[in-house]
Amino acid sequence: MKKNLGVVPAVYPMPVLMVAAYDENGTVNVMNAAWGMICAMDKIALFIDEDHKTTQNLLKTKAFTVSIADRAHMDVADFFGIATGNKMPDKFARTGYHAAKSAFVNAPVIEEFPVVMECELNDVVSNDSFYCIVGKIVNVAAEEKVLDPNGKVNPTKLDALIFDQFQNGYYVTGEQAGRAWHAGAGLMKK
């Protein structure tokens, strides 16, 4: 029997995404955003507040990057969620991490995170229910150590962080449980 829990953001897992943009002076700012998702083959939607420093920056530059955080960089990924660039101008510098300018968009690529999506600002959707930044993905780059022999990202090598909204924990991705579009194929024959 299920127990009623009330109103809880009960989606698990949630990604741990690092959103990065330059400010008007070329300073890097990064934020941790769990409320993001792919919304088309070449688009990502980030449900982030308008008042975040990173949001303000990407609205000005019309570009940003989204990296997937991993276990090896959990402490800094969490720090990017705790600290605000609105009150801590040296937020990125404090980490000792490194950023390189994307070759595709006017945004920083954080070198320590293994996978990055380089995005142009595509749309801003704002209403009484949410504020959403939609980015057009113009390139994805990944460290070779997380690629399979065919050059595709291997989730078992990625060690990607996932966020648990039930108890505010971080977990990592694990083993493959099945294959999409194959696991349920047997039911098609009934």
> Which string of DSSP letters, residue by residue, matches 128-153?
SS-EEEEEEEEEEEE-GGGB-TTSSB
Domain count, the chain: 1
- The DSSP H or E segment spanning 164 is strand 161-164
Residue 28's DSSP bridge partners are 22
CATH code, 131: 2.30.110.10
Instruction: Determine the pLDDT at residue 189.
Output: 83
State the pTM of this model. Answer: 0.95
Note whether residue 9 is domain-resident.
no
CA distance 186 to 99: 47
3-state secondary structure 21-43: EECCCCCEEEEEECCEEEEECCE
Note whether residue 3 is domain-resident.
no
More confident residue, 173 or 190: 173
Read off the pLDDT of residues 4-60 as tens digits, 9 standing for 90 and up. 999 999 999 999 999 999 999 999 999 999 999 999 999 999 999 999 999 999 999
Instruction: Determine the pLDDT at residue 182.
Output: 87
Tell me the residue range of the domain where 171 lies: 14-189
Read off the pLDDT of residues 57-83 as tens digits, 9 standing for 90 and up. 999 999 999 999 999 999 999 999 999
Residue 171's DSSP bridge partners are 162
